[in-house]
Amino acid sequence: MAVNTGAGRVRVRTEGAVATVTLDHPGRLNAITVAMWGELADAFGRLSADRDLRCVIVRGAGGHFAAGADIREFPQARADADRVMAYHRHTIAPALRAVAECLHPVVAAIEGVCVGGGLEIASRCDLRLAARGARFGAPINRLGFPMAPDEMRGLLELAGRAVTLEILLEGRVFDADEAWAKGLLTRVVAAEALESELLATVARLCAGAPRAARLNKWTAARLCGGAAPLSDAEWRACFAYADGPDHRQGVQAFLQGDDPVFTGE
């Protein structure tokens, strides 16, 4: 399915249990327009509700992930303080939140440029695979503004305060090996190996129990989200899988030396 957003678009394709979300803005290194941010949020809202999916891939078209927000829109979209705040809180933040809160595992396949808003999107994915030639950074200090709180959240969770401040205060663009060393990436592979590594990763994700994946995502977010102890209801939710068919199927298949067939329940 292609979502037309003028010069740029967000394309969504579903094949079996895997959906691919592609950022596509020809000639602009997939710079993300206001409309594309909205379409990204809508796409992930729909995909998260699709219980038949096992995995979502995010990537860019034309050999690049994304070069951040489309700066050509700034004179209108960010013309004064009120519109700046609305742009970041009500345009970008919901899209990043939709990626982070997706029910299914989300994998970013990164090549080429992945800076600014592109890095923000990648940081909200669960796994990040990058070609060695990819480039990363957030040189927005040269545009005269800081990173908004909801956008900084992903970098802080991945790399911590010191690395996040280094990235933002220096505004330097760096390579994939350095991004991996900083904790921003899951794996770095040669450019020609990215597709095969992506396919292998997706296969591993799809082979696992969907309910376990959803619970792992929920538990990680909950434990990192605050110091409040788990409630009794939350503890029960963590172990609700125990009486489900997937848990029984997984144990039985292991004991019999078979491959499990999970239904997501």
- d(CA 236, CA 179) in angstroms, rounded, equals 38
Nearest Cα neighbor of 99 from 155, 63, 56, 137 is 56
Positions of the chain with pLDDT under 70: 1-6, 226, 265
> So what's the pLDDT on residue 6?
52
162, burial (CB in 10 Å: exposed 0-12, middle 13-18, buried 19+): exposed
Phi, then psi, of 44 in degrees rounded to 5: -70, -30
- The SS3 assignment for 55 reads strand
Residue 196: what pLDDT? 98
- What is the pTM (predicted TM-score) of this model? 0.93
Looking at residue 3, what is its pLDDT? 39
The residue among 162, 144, 137, 121 whose CA lies nearest residue 36 is: 121
Write down the residue that tokens 């038949």 correspond to.
Answer: 52
Distance CA(84)–CA(20), nearest Å, equals 30
